[in-house]
Structure 1
Amino acid sequence: MTKLRMEEAAHSILARNDRGGYTVPTDRLYPFQWNWDSAFVAVGFATFNVDRAYRELERLIEGQWDDGMIPHIVFHAPSDTYFPGPDVWGTRHRIPTSGITQPPVFGMALRHVHEAAIANGMADAEARTRALFQAALRSHRWWLEARDPEGLGLVAILHPWESGSDNSPAWDEALARVPTTTTTVIRRKDTGHVDASMRPRDEDYQRFIHLVDVYRHCDWDPKRQWTNAPFKVADVQMTAILARATADLIHLAEVLGAEGDKAELAQMHRTLLDGLARRWRPSLSRFVSLDLISGNDIETPTQAGFIPLVAVTLDDAQRDAVMAEIERWLDGMVVGVPSAPRFSPAFEPKRYWRGPVWAVINWLIADGLRLNEAEDLARRIEQVTVHAVENAGFCEYFDPTTGEGLGGDTFSWTAAAYLVLGRRR
């Protein structure tokens, strides 16, 4: 299929998954609006329809809580094809939402959309950006207040779902401490849409829902959740995305003439960069998260260790070490970067976040490499991602050992990644 035909197919997928100004990740498997999915999708829309890109972000913000948190799911319309639905979450927001969040790609997306709008001469670009900028700023304040109350310069996740990397091997030890008992009856729907071998195990789901039960019993109060959390990890992937998004908001503050906001964001940015700098481990050639309950480093190798590249400036030795490490992960792979490397005992090439390749993760890693002057490696990762989509279709994720498409198909953020990365060839 030609590049033009592939772009048309990507446009078609986004249109098919449009539910009235917001995009579902894919039909039935994920029938609502997901936080970081929509941010990536907005960047994809910005390549051909800037108004629709703005609308994606505006619909997401309809679910923002009064304290600033942007939930990981906004239940705009009912569906019985997904568990857990709004009845399980039991939040009392004006629009039904989940009670946890996801990686804050929103600020990164807003800068992309604004710049596309300006390039296209969009008359109301500044007004729309200004409103979304304030929503993003409230979200970033929430992150520092609710998820770094101890001032480490690292924001924490209280549920693996918040990381976006639900069943990552990085969480195995911390999650093992979470009981499998639940007060909620678990009725999994995902394995009715996708082969169970590609999804988290039942035991994982029991622990996931136990955490939902705990936080629901806290009435979703951030301070009570922090105190009672049986899972609490200072996540370098989350912190890095927040830091990068903060840098993008600083740029927008300059454009919008918001000097007071710029100063506040600059302080946030320094705090986050300092926190990330302390998580570099030369012996591993990557960054590591911190288990805040045990106090131990999480050394299990996953893609999260490379995501700080989107935010930090490496010195020459660090850059050389990271590049060599990524090359080690790519060795023998049909498509990379795997979410866990083949040399890890936890590697499962078809099971969700335990090995498969995700187009949006490669997008982030490539952006981080390019920011750190590793242009050739960034381009290779982008090209192999584009080729994987062209060979296997717009799948949710890919087997790194074969290139086989896995999970849901006609996936929105894979279509968006193709539209963005395909133009970089």
Structure 2
Amino acid sequence: MNQHTNPDREARSILIANDRGGYTIPTEGLYPYQWNWDSAIAALGFAQFDLDRAWTEIETLFTGQWEDGMVPHILFHQQDEGYFPGPDVWGCNGPIPSSGIIQPPIAATMARKIWEQDTAFGDARMKELFPKLLAWHRWIMKWRLDEFGAVCTTHPWEAGRDNAPDWDNSMARMDASDVGEYQRRDTSHVNSDDRPTKFDYDRYIKLVQIGRDAGWDQQALLSLNPFRVADPTMTFTTLRAARDVLMISEKLELEAEGLSEDIEKLESGARSLWNEDLGSFDSRDAHTGEMAESISNASYLCWYAGMESDRMLKGLKSVLETVPYPVPSYDPDMPKFDARRYWRGPTWAFMNMMIGFGLADMEHAQQAEQLRQKTAELISGYGFAEYFDPKTGSPAGGQAFTWTAAVWLHWAGRA
């Protein structure tokens, strides 16, 4: 363990070093562009010392919003040969070169937090941003719901949890034998044991090819895309965003017709992801109806979405007591647990923060504080890594990572 003696200063330095003027990259080398949910978390970090820069982060993200309301998961503001797949592989036609998929819509929630903090200019900035937040919400409601009202991911990258065990069965049914040759870049930056396998990556690229060949026509992709999984990440973050957008609309007296009905539909969808045998919220293949049988850190975002669950709380209490550095991205007692491989076990500080937000909102103050303290110990002890081994705390993935620095500044480092 390397004790980080001044994590406040270190965290600020990371955000400033990763700032590319209006947007922040997650980390040098490994991720050289603007990522959607990373950016929303980065904005929270900036809000601790530069509110104007915090707003700019989210506003820059929405400069890439497509005409139909979609906000891509990556914006390629400037070409970088060191990243694959780049804009040429995606073949999109947005206002800024981009990917053709989304990420969990946490921008509205983080923008609300910045707005509540910014008593001087918050209302004016939020009024400008609001129609864009609403348009993205409506796009998700139109294109990503399953028959139960749960929100689907159409690519593992879209849910942000790239190689989570939740997707294994759906991925295994896919044929990626014709994906062709390509050169991964991620494993040249970090240890390949920390990253998705080639089997996974072939399927990631195959899904990109299917989308590109369809011209990213969402109607066509409803039948063409073999991967469509209703999952807790997308469902809980969309539900929370809808609640926040509704609250903002009421406070600022802005039009947001249909949001209350959307929230009811999403609540029903969230309940449909309950796996009684597992005693947890779980993912479900929208094509087959098969549950993933996966307890992940996304399962614990129920409170973030405003959904109470006694059994999830019992599970979380157990995790907080038994796992040295919680919350693992996959339950350590389950057969596919891998302490270092991306979303198959490692702990992610920003997911802890979002779980912590929910716990505090739903008046589980003790668990919220316990999780904050454990996350603070993890970061101050092991630094600002992309993610961490939940058993030993050892850092994994990219280093000097934007969202881990932002989590320290906004939440973990603030007693």
What TM-score results when the alignment is normalised by the length of structure 2?
0.96
Residue 3 of structure 1 deviates from its aligned partner by 9.1
Say if 1:23 and 1:33, in contact at 8 Å, map to a contact too: yes
Partner of 2:340: 350
**8 A contact 1:71–1:99 mirrored in 2:** yes
1:221-300 aligned within 5 A = 221-258=217-254, 260-261=255-256, 263-300=257-294
Contact conserved, 2:69 with 2:139, CA < 8 A, in 1? yes
Partner SS for 2:140: helix
Report if aligned partners of 1:39, 1:105 keep a CA contact under 8 Å in 2: yes
CA distance in 1 between partners of 2:285 and 2:150 (Å): 11
Larger mean CA deviation between 367-376 and 96-105 belongs to: 367-376
User: For the residues of structure 2 that align with 1:385 and 1:230, how far apart are their CA atoms?
Assistant: 37
Deviation at 1:183, TM superposition (A): 4.2
What CA RMSD, in Å, does the superposition of the two structures yield over aligned residues?
A: 1.7
Runs ≥4 residues deviating over 6 A: 1-4
| Shift in CA distance, 198/223, structure 1 to aligned 2, threshold 3 Å | same
What pairs up with 1:129-278 in 2 under 5 angstroms? Answer: 129-148=126-145, 151-258=147-254, 260-261=255-256, 263-278=257-272
Instruction: Tell me what 2:67 maps to.
Output: 66
* Count of aligned pairs between the two proteins: 414
Give deviations 1:80-113, integer Å, cap 9, x for gaps: 1111000110112231000011000011011011
Relative to its length, the structure with more helix (as a share) is 1
Highest relative contact order (Cα 8 Å, sep 6+), 1 or 2? 2
Shift in Å, 1:274: 1.8
Q: Aligned-pair distance for 1:292?
A: 0.8
Matched AA of 1:83: F
**Once the 2 structures are TM-superposed, how far is the Cα of residue 424 of structure 1 from its aligned partner?**
4.2
SS at match of 2:332: coil
1:237–1:308 Cα contact (<8 Å) kept: no
Determine the C-alpha separation between the residues in 2 that align with 1:340 and 1:6.
28
Residue 298 of structure 2 corresponds to which residue in structure 1? Answer: 304
Aligned counterparts of 2:203 and 2:66: Cα–Cα separation in 1: 25
Q: Name the amino acid aligned to 1:68.
A: G
Structure 2: how far apart are the matches of 1:178 and 1:331? 39
Q: Write the distance in 2 (CA, Å) between the matches of 1:17 and 1:420.
A: 17
2:379 is equivalent to residue 389 of structure 1? yes
Residue 399 of structure 1 and its aligned partner are, at CA, apart by 0.3
Structure 1 equivalent of residue 40 of structure 2: 39
The CA distance in 1 between the partners of 2:109 and 2:97, in whole Å, is 25
AA in 2 matched with 1:386: A
Per-residue CA deviation, residues 341-389 of structure 1 (Å, 9 max, x unaligned), is: 2111100000000000000111111122222322111111111111111
Matches within 5 A, 1:378-417: 378-417=368-407
User: Partners of 1:281 and 1:295 in 2: how far apart?
Assistant: 12
SS at the partner of 1:339? coil
Q: Which secondary structure state, in structure 2, belongs to the residue aligned with residue 162 of structure 1? A: coil
**Partner amino acid, structure 1, of 2:133:** A
Q: Is the 8 A contact 1:184 1:209 kept in 2?
A: no
1:155 CA drift (Å)? 1.4
Q: For residues 289 and 251 of structure 2, what CA distance do their matches in structure 1 show?
A: 41
The alignment partner of 1:255 has SS state of helix
CA distance in 2, matches of 1:179, 1:201: 16
Cα drift, residue 182 of structure 1:
4.0
Tell me which amino acid in the other structure corresponds to 1:210.
K
Deviation of 1:246 after TM superposition, in Å, equals: 1.0
Aligned counterpart for 1:328 among listed residues 301, 318, 329: 318
CA apart distance, 1:329: 3.1
Q: 1:107·1:245 contact (CA, 8 Å) conserved in 2?
A: yes
Q: TM-score, normalised by structure 1?
A: 0.94
CA offsets per residue over residues 230-275 of structure 1, 9 Å max, x none?
11111122111011011111111122111x31x4222211111121
| Structure-to-structure mapping, 1:64-143, within 5 angstroms | 64-118=65-119, 121-122=120-121, 125-143=122-140
Q: Which runs of 5+ in 1 are unaligned?
A: none
Deviates more, 1:10-19 or 1:90-99: 90-99
Does 1:52 find its partner at 2:46?
Answer: no
Separation in 2 of the partners of 1:153 and 1:76? 34
Partner SS, residue 284 of structure 2: strand
Cα 1:366–1:87 change in 2 (3 A) is: same
Q: What is the aligned-residue identity percentage?
A: 40
